[in-house]
Amino acid sequence: MAAGIPTHDAIVIGAGFSGMYMLKALRDKLGLRARVYEAGETVGGTWYWNRYPGARCDSDSYIYCFTWDKQLLQEWEWSERYPEQPEILRYLEHVAERHDLKRDIQFNTRVTGAEFDESNNLWCVHTDKGESATARYLIAAVGSLSDTNLPQFKGLEKFQGKWCHTSRLPSGGIDFTAKRVAVVGTGATAVQAIPEIAQQAKELTVFQRTPNYCVPARNGKVAPQLVKARKADYDGVIKRIRESFFGFEYDFIPKPVLETTPEEREREFDRMWDEGGFAFWLANYQDMFFNQEANDLCADYIKRKIRKTVKDPIVAEKLIPKGHPYGTKRQPLDSNYYETFNKDNVLLVDANTDGPIEEITAKGIRAGGKKYEFDIIIFATGFDAMTGPLKALNLKGRDGRRLREVWADGPHTYLGISIAGFPNLFTITGPQSPSVLSNMPVSIEQHVEWIADCIEMMSKTGKTTIEATPKAQEQWGSHVNEIVNGTLMPRANSWYMSANIAGKPRAFLPYLGPEGVGGYRRKCDEVAAEGYAGFTLA
């Protein structure tokens, strides 16, 4: 490549929902030369990697899809309320084919580093294939939950059976039939996987560190009349989810729960419980996010449900969350999760009452001084969320400053989309944007469209760099923290708070409100309308 002449206009890292749409926008809307690098062998991102039994989206399928292909919204038929992982992959493959995306995506290629060349105002990107490429713009579409967290369990190398993280199962899956299986972790992934594995395995032992509040998913076929009505009103659906708080067709109950009678709130709780999905979490009484007493009323309802469902009272008590308010950790959706602990072949080992995992042995796991033997161990231990995938890119900005160092104490961004000192770099659904606290495609589409508009403005005005100012970044960080500190979220050791990983500095990772994704969208649009306020353009 000749110095100063980039090999591409833009490089996108990742070919999941966000990278695919970013490519479409850059290439087909703006007419740019764009290249996508993807570590997987095909499109899908998180849906390519997470192929554990029971893997399914927790958003309703009619809103977990691209809204920019209006014809496809009408044509595509989802088989159930929540799309299963293979079905989402089929959908994304179909989109890739329909829009001829794959010709600009290089698969099986991981980006290993990128630095900003200040003399030419270009990003220079390196891959594990030994290639380098340059571009004016670099767009990280790496997903929020793509950097696997495999805790350093002592002795893992000695284990003689099979072991696997839930996001790294082989493409043919694992046959659990007649096997003694351990699942470590009880987050949203494990809550989906455990009932499925329990049906196949001879014995299943679940190692729980923190019990979660699970609410019913209520998956199933969607009534054809409802599918038809939604298709007829997709413009209305899109408008509502874009303006909503969390990217769903949900509104909070306007009244504080503390002002309700016991009968009234029980009726409302029953209604949300019966509706299933995130309604109980995201369309509940809003004061439960701010007030412990209000939160206790919601939490108590779920605790009663757990006690009613789980037959052994000792097991039920182990499954009841104790140390964190309801809704402050990612809501797992339950399809026979609690019922699974009534099965004879399922055992719960709780770190608090039975003792924590001490080591992995040749034959299994030792926890609380007791030895358990397994053929297979599945680690459902989550991810280095949000900052992990970006730090793993080994990015170097101005003056050779490494993102790892700049973020040593947690993320610093402007709007969750840009980082001071890293010109022309954009992070789709990056930390300090609504991202994981929203229905992801809504936030992905908003970022992609904002970034595409910004790049279009840059070429029209002849600018070569855009970069967040340190001041705007600092103010955004304070705003993110001020809001979350007014809620109960900081009281949980959640991955939202960076608390799932030993040594990760405690910081709230997404952006919560005050008017949700709708308000955040308006804020981003205002910034653009004000000539990209808070950015330096050169």
| H or E element in which residue 338 lies | helix 337-340
Distance of closest approach, residue 280 Cβ to ligand NA7, in angstroms? 16
Instruction: Considering the complex, state which of residue 189 and residue 413 has its C-beta at the smaller distance from ligand NA7.
Output: 189
Q: Which of 380, 386, 428, 458 binds ligand NA7 (CB under 6 A)?
A: 380
Among residues 461, 417, 453, 445, which one has the least CA distance to residue 30?
453
Q: Which of 12, 63, 188, 365 binds ligand NA7 (CB under 6 A)?
A: 188
User: Which residues contact residue 325 at a Cβ distance below 8 angstroms, ignoring those fewer than 6 apart?
Assistant: 288, 292, 295, 296, 299, 488, 491, 492
With contacts defined by CB under 6 A, name the span among 180-188, 270-278, 280-288, 414-422 that binds ligand NA7. Answer: 180-188
| Class of residue 175 by CB neighbours under 10 A (exposed 0-12, middle 13-18, buried 19+) | exposed
Instruction: Considering the complex, state which of residue 109 and residue 494 has its C-beta at the smaller distance from ligand NA7.
Output: 494
Q: Tokens in use for 218?
A: 């209520």
Residues within window 479-538 making contact with ligand NA7, judged by CB under 6 A: 495, 500
Closest residue to ligand NA7, judged by C-beta, is 187
Instruction: Considering the complex, state which of residue 153 and residue 269 has its C-beta at the smaller distance from ligand NA7.
Output: 153
Q: What angle do CA 374, 495, 214 make, to 5 degrees?
A: 70
Residues within window 110-169 making contact with ligand NA7, judged by CB under 6 A: 145, 151
Specify the amino acid at residue 116: F
Q: Which of 51, 303, 330, 391 binds ligand NA7 (CB under 6 A)?
A: 330
Q: Which of 32, 34, 101, 190 binds ligand NA7 (CB under 6 A)?
A: 190
Distance of closest approach, residue 113 Cβ to ligand NA7, in angstroms? 26
Count of residues of this chain found to bind ligand NA7 when the rule CB under 6 A is applied: 19
With contacts defined by CB under 6 A, name the span among 32-40, 111-119, 312-320, 380-388 that binds ligand NA7. Answer: 380-388
| H or E element in which residue 403 lies | helix 403-406
Q: Tokens in use for 92?
A: 């994304």
Whole-angstrom distance, CA of residue 42 vs CA of residue 61: 21
Instruction: Considering the complex, state which of residue 116 and residue 338 has its C-beta at the smaller distance from ligand NA7.
Output: 338
With contacts defined by CB under 6 A, name the span among 3-11, 188-196, 399-407, 419-427 that binds ligand NA7. Answer: 188-196
Q: How many of the other CB atoms lie within 10 Å of CB of 343?
A: 13
- In the 8-state DSSP scheme, what is residue 323? S
Q: Which of 90, 209, 240, 404 binds ligand NA7 (CB under 6 A)?
A: 209
Phi-psi sector, 382: left (phi>0), alpha (psi -120 to 50), beta: left
Q: Tokens in use for 189?
A: 């992934």
CB burial of 209-223 (b: ≥16 within 10 Å; e: otherwise) equals bbbbbbbbbbbeebe
Instruction: Considering the complex, state which of residue 40 and residue 187 has its C-beta at the smaller distance from ligand NA7.
Output: 187
Q: Which residue has the tokens 């196949």?
A: 200
Interface residue list for ligand NA7 (CB under 6 A) = 145, 151, 184-190, 209-210, 330, 357, 380-383, 495, 500
